[in-house]
Amino acid sequence: MNSINRCYKDRGKKGYDLTERFFTLFRSQFPNIPISGPERAGKDILMSSIFRDYPRPNRPVDFVIHSADRSEVLAIGLARYDSDRGGAQEDDRTGGYKSCADEILSYAREHGLKTKLIFINDGPGLLLGSMWDDYAFLESSWPGKILVLTLRMVPVRLTSDWLYS
């Protein structure tokens, strides 16, 4: 098998590993808080399935965290593995995240929801250029409403206090 076919065959595998590991970490840390979404490969969750009147019903997200009694959506999340990004690709990712954050959090504010956003990112691409600085800026753009995490950060930074605040 040539390297192009091998690359295509493995495409997405690290991202699927990332989401599977996040779900495992989350469930061990918060056994009583429900999380849903594709744990590996699978169809994204559409915002219309979370909020019936969401203005962009086809907006895809990777996971949803509900309150223990399922009465509230505590957080909506996206997970991406950045294997080797930089330049315009780097700007596309963080720019897309900013647009997504503004859209979802504006909706939550307009409807009096506590819903927050979690961006799970991992991989060596985070070390390129200004990508991590862009993520830090994104997190500070909605104080207390956005967490940008790597898998190593989950046990320390993601708390039930933050989720329920």
Q: Are 131 and 125 in contact (CB under 8 A)?
A: yes
| pLDDT at residue 83, as a whole number | 62
**Angle formed by the axes of helices 131-141 and 87-110, to 10°?**
10
For residue 156, is pLDDT > 90? yes
| pLDDT at residue 6, as a whole number | 46
For residue 122, is pLDDT > 50? yes
| pLDDT at residue 91, as a whole number | 45
Whether residue 66 lies inside any domain: the answer is: yes
Whether residue 134 lies inside any domain: the answer is: yes
Whether residue 103 lies inside any domain: the answer is: yes
CATH code, domain carrying 107:
3.40.1350
Which has the minimum average pLDDT: 5-9, 63-67, 113-117, 134-138?
5-9
Q: Are 128 and 90 in contact (CB under 8 A)?
A: yes
Total domain count, the chain: 1
| Residues listed for the chain | 165
| pLDDT at residue 5, as a whole number | 47
Q: Are 116 and 74 in contact (CB under 8 A)?
A: yes
For residue 13, is pLDDT > 70? no
Rounded mean pLDDT, 38-44: 81
Whether residue 1 lies inside any domain: the answer is: no
For residue 103, is pLDDT > 80? yes
Q: What is the pLDDT confidence band of residue 41, given thresholds at 50, 70 and 90?
A: confident
Rounded mean pLDDT, 140-150: 94
Domain containing 104 equals 12-164
Query: What is the rounded average pLDDT for all residues in the chain?
Result: 84
